[in-house]
A and B are shown apart, each in its own frame.
Chain A
Amino acid sequence: MILYIGRRLLGVIGVLVAIAAVTFTIFYVLPSDPAAAACGKSCSTERLTAIRAHMGLDQPLWRQFADFVTGIFTGRTLGGGQYALHCAFPCLGYSYENSEAVWDLLMDRLPVSASLALGAAVLWLLLGLGAGVTAALRKDTLTDRVLMVGAVAAASLPVYFTSMTLIYGIVRTAGLLPYPQYVPFGDDPVHWASNLLLPWLALAVLYAAMYARQSRGSMIETMAEPYIRTARAKGLPRRTVVVKHGLRAGMTPVLTLFGMDLGGLLAGAVITESLFGLPGIGRLFYGALSTGDQPVVLGVTLLAAAFIVVANLAVDLLYAVVDPRVRY
């Protein structure tokens, strides 16, 4: 088991370095000049050269990449003289736009994206699994049909439409909730929740529908397995069978899905954040992209990849706990 985890962790680092390399190449091979963008409206050639040197853009590509990767592990010093900056571990460089450390920017925005993702995840798990399991246990009844038709329809709803309809109905017309504006949990948990409720709902509708479909299928499959039939035959109450045996095995495929979805969302839901005006990582990324702020773009990409890879690892490890059939 420990050996397995060790091997997987090495793989994670390999994947991250590969992703960093690809991102790096995309941005530095393609024609874009962050130095010119930083230089502004009236920029002389000499000044442009000086700025390029300051940003380290006069170095060859491999050198820039090597500096970047070693910087993550050891930290590095940027600039010189009075303006020298020491960028400590884990150094992802400094934003071209506002000179903040990329790591600090990411950590500053992470609570917003994490609040959004985790809150929505709770909602969609409750709604989705509830609907899915109910439908599976009442297979081929009216309840099942209504739930599943609803799920297909909800999964097909464009998130833009859901979001704007929620805002129109709940904020503009009924005035029940404020226009979403992020309030940190630590400042005021009630306002944190009330401001995030709409974005949670908008995200949860989409995912809950997918989870209802997935969990229904997987539950039906599990309930048809011989060991469940045996348990039923032994005379165990239906409730015990469903909860103790059925759910445990039936949720394994859902767990995979959940790991990937949550991993993807933690690093920012670009569209939802933009629809509701939440300053999360998705917004940070999108803003950085439009201003050519490559260190930030690179930082977000790496963070997002890290979440996905770690989530996958966590899911694989959880398998052993959840599903008695899986062993490493």
Chain B
Amino acid sequence: MNKRTRTALAALAATLALGASGCSGGHRAGGGGRDGTGHPAPAEEGTVVGGTPRKGGTLTVLSNQDFAHLDPARNWVMNAMGFGTRLLYRTLVTYQAAPGVQGNHLVPDLATDLGTPSNGARTWTFHLKQGVKYEDGTPVTAQDVKYNVERSFSPDLPGGADYAARYLAGADGYQGPAQGKHLDSVKTPDDRTIVFELRKPFAEFPNATAMPTFAPVPRARDNGPQYDNRPFSSGPYKIESYARGKKLVLVRNEHWDPATDGVRKAYPDRLVMVMGLRANQIDDRMIADQGADASAVPWYALRPESAVKVLPDPAVRKRLVAESTNCTDMVQMHTGRAPFDNVKVRQAVRYALDRDAVLTTSGGPAFNDLSTAYMPAALFGGTQPDTLKVPAEGDTAKARQLLKEAGKPDGFSTGITVPSGDKGRAEAIQQSLARAGIKVTIEMVDPSAFYATIGDTRNRTDMVYTGWCPDYPSGSTFLPFVFDARYIKEKGNSGNHSLFRDDATMKRMDEIAAMTDTRQAAAAWQRLDGAILAKAPAVPVLVRRYPLVVGGNIAGAYGQTSFGGQLDYATIGLKDPAKGQG
């Protein structure tokens, strides 16, 4: 951390009761107050806001947007996966409903246990619990789980997670069940047993079955793309009405049996999500906490500009939840193209980059953590190491020196593509690189078209600003996706946007993937992270948090680390249900 911010913090500590700070660069990226270094936001993480809820009442969710997809075969957005799997559909296994790192632990959901591996973790068998029912009272069967896995292959239903396609045997060219074809590698010997046959050993398969792909969809209810508007419930709530972009109303699913469900508490009687509101007005309403808004929660993260209304006010701050999203924002450089094929140039970018400025434009240290490694803190057991010791505000002299060594003493011109929401961050990057002589043009792309744009490896800009979130807490869902050259595609490229091709790295990845001891594997991933960092295909910038101010009548609110820091809808409810009627 630089001198100026430390002084500023010291000055603020007294007035704002933020607590003293002993921040040093190495600990800035702590995975949420657990590192004990006095990060100024300890109260917002790992704790539950509002105590234990009481049953009943209406919980209101205020949102500026609609879900991309609620269809379990297509839902692959962190917080929407949390919403879907906590309220509407159950998966074979799921994450424990608990704050902090506890939320990373897998527990059985539809299944009786976390699955039984055989054939060297190539075959996985799950048994379904008895008494799990849909909203019409019919039982959930193994065939229904299989059916939804098959649906996720259908070109009519794009957007979902591709773990099934990646790991199931004989899945190449499969186009879903609509034409009457089925996957032989998923077997259902009886109504309550499902067996998956994988193309290679996969010790972490249970983690994948927490994805909505592994939720049941009864064939009779499947109406293709329209299923998105009315998923059939196997969870504690069912959809009463859903006007896309306007309003979603959930009511209790009377056939959901709490005895079969160790995760979901289902406190409120109704859940109303109001969509299409203006984001800043949601922030203001949550801060004001008046009338019916006391029983409301926001859907989208607090805007940086609202921070000034939250942080200095202890009463509002008490209602703030700010769990880490566990996604690392990175500047990825096209290593296959001049001048970024030169490692010195890439290192120069790393030294030129003022991460502190990017952090400030993102809302400051209360809502973000600087990143010193690729993998987020959760994959380092709570704290990212700082192997390179690059100052947070960058080192322009060093960057210029590196550029000179690379034969570019006068710098060069290049471009960066960012989603339109990241404009401020992009401008901060542009400014800091300009100081070292690197002229950057910013290309802004709408978020929905962003991945398609940067996935076109021929026509995209040299640099892209994008993040990666592990789908579950393992290095195997991070480093291979971001740095394995075998995943590079000329079009529709994803993850490895630095087009990093390094044989030593790939060899090591295969070795780690084959390890059966998960502790040993975790340590190995962490060392590999440092090794790749030295080769500088990408610059890690920051890890965002998901700040949410909840209403004063809300209880049981905490950010779920496995769902990108979004509130855990399994356990949220009201303090006084009588206040949240209607």
* Residue-wise interface mask of A (288-328) relative to B, using a CB-CB cutoff of 8 A (1 in contact, 0 not): 01111000000000000000000000000000000000000
* CB within 8 Å for A54 and B245 given contacts A41-B494, A43-B492: no
Residue among A40, A54, A179, A274 with the most chain B CB within 10 A?
A40
- Whether B284 pairs with A172 at a CB distance below 8 angstroms is yes
Q: Which residue in chain B gives the minimum CB-CB distance to A95? A: B244
* Residue-wise interface mask of A (119-160) relative to B, using a CB-CB cutoff of 8 A (1 in contact, 0 not): 000000000000000000000000000000000000000000
CA distance A32 to B449 in the complex (A): 8
- Whether A277 pairs with B159 at a CB distance below 8 angstroms is no
Q: Across the interface, which residues of B come within 8 angstroms of A33, CB to CB?
A: 452
- Whether B420 pairs with A39 at a CB distance below 8 angstroms is no
Q: Across the interface, which residues of A come within 8 angstroms of B69, CB to CB?
A: 98
B7 within 8 Å of A by Cβ? no
- Whether B278 pairs with A277 at a CB distance below 8 angstroms is yes
Partner of B226, one of A40, A85, A287: A85
Q: Across the interface, which residues of A come within 8 angstroms of B447, CB to CB?
A: 290
Partner of A50, one of B64, B155, B177: B155
Q: Which residue in chain B gives the minimum CB-CB distance to A97? A: B68
Q: Across the interface, which residues of B come within 8 angstroms of A43, CB to CB?
A: 158, 451, 455, 492, 494
B156 within 8 Å of A by Cβ? yes
Q: Which residue in chain A gives the minimum CB-CB distance to B491? A: A45
Interface residue range, chain A: 35 or more
B579 within 8 Å of A by Cβ? no
- Whether B448 pairs with A274 at a CB distance below 8 angstroms is no
B276 within 8 Å of A by Cβ? yes
CA distance A264 to B160 in the complex (A): 39
* Residue-wise interface mask of B (392-411) relative to A, using a CB-CB cutoff of 8 A (1 in contact, 0 not): 00000000000000000000
CA distance A38 to B451 in the complex (A): 10
B222 within 8 Å of A by Cβ? yes
Q: Across the interface, which residues of A come within 8 angstroms of B228, CB to CB?
A: 98-99
Q: Across the interface, which residues of B come within 8 angstroms of A42, CB to CB?
A: 162, 494-495
CB of A284 to closest CB in B, whole Å: 7
A279 within 8 Å of B by Cβ? yes
- Whether A277 pairs with B158 at a CB distance below 8 angstroms is no
* Residue-wise interface mask of A (22-58) relative to B, using a CB-CB cutoff of 8 A (1 in contact, 0 not): 0000000000110011111111111110110110000
- Whether B449 pairs with A54 at a CB distance below 8 angstroms is no
Which B residues between 470 and 503 are near A, CB-CB below 8 angstroms? 489, 491-492, 494-495
- Whether A39 pairs with B158 at a CB distance below 8 angstroms is yes
B281 within 8 Å of A by Cβ? yes
Q: Across the interface, which residues of B come within 8 angstroms of A283, CB to CB?
A: 245, 276
CB of A196 to closest CB in B, whole Å: 14
* CB within 8 Å for A279 and B446 given contacts A51-B158, A82-B178: no
Which B residues between 190 and 247 are near A, CB-CB below 8 angstroms? 222-226, 228-229, 243-246
Residue among B68, B228, B246, B276 with the most chain A CB within 10 A?
B276
CB of B458 to closest CB in A, whole Å: 12
- Whether A41 pairs with B76 at a CB distance below 8 angstroms is yes
Which B residues between 139 and 191 are near A, CB-CB below 8 angstroms? 154-156, 158-160, 162, 165, 173, 175, 177-180
- Whether B492 pairs with A100 at a CB distance below 8 angstroms is no
CA distance A167 to B280 in the complex (A): 12
- Whether A83 pairs with B224 at a CB distance below 8 angstroms is yes
CB of A61 to closest CB in B, whole Å: 20
B274 within 8 Å of A by Cβ? yes
Q: Which residue in chain A gives the minimum CB-CB distance to B172? A: A46
- Whether A48 pairs with B276 at a CB distance below 8 angstroms is no
- Whether B223 pairs with A278 at a CB distance below 8 angstroms is no
Q: Across the interface, which residues of A come within 8 angstroms of B158, CB to CB?
A: 38-40, 43, 47, 51
* Residue-wise interface mask of A (88-109) relative to B, using a CB-CB cutoff of 8 A (1 in contact, 0 not): 0000001101111000010011
A60 within 8 Å of B by Cβ? no
B429 within 8 Å of A by Cβ? no
CB of B151 to closest CB in A, whole Å: 10
- Whether A82 pairs with B245 at a CB distance below 8 angstroms is no
Partner of A279, one of B156, B246, B288: B246
Interface residues, chain B, with chain A CB atoms under 8 Å away:
64-66, 68-69, 76, 154-156, 158-160, 162, 165, 173, 175, 177-180, 222-226, 228-229, 243-246, 274-278, 281, 284-285, 288, 290, 420, 446-449, 451-452, 455, 489, 491-492, 494-495
8 additional A-B residue pairs with CB within 8 Å, beyond A37-B448, A40-B451, A42-B495: A33-B452, A39-B158, A45-B489, A54-B156, A80-B178, A83-B225, A99-B226, A100-B229
Interface residues, chain A, with chain B CB atoms under 8 Å away:
32-33, 36-48, 50-51, 53-54, 79-83, 85, 94-95, 97-100, 105, 108-109, 167, 172, 175, 179-182, 274-279, 283-284, 287, 289-292
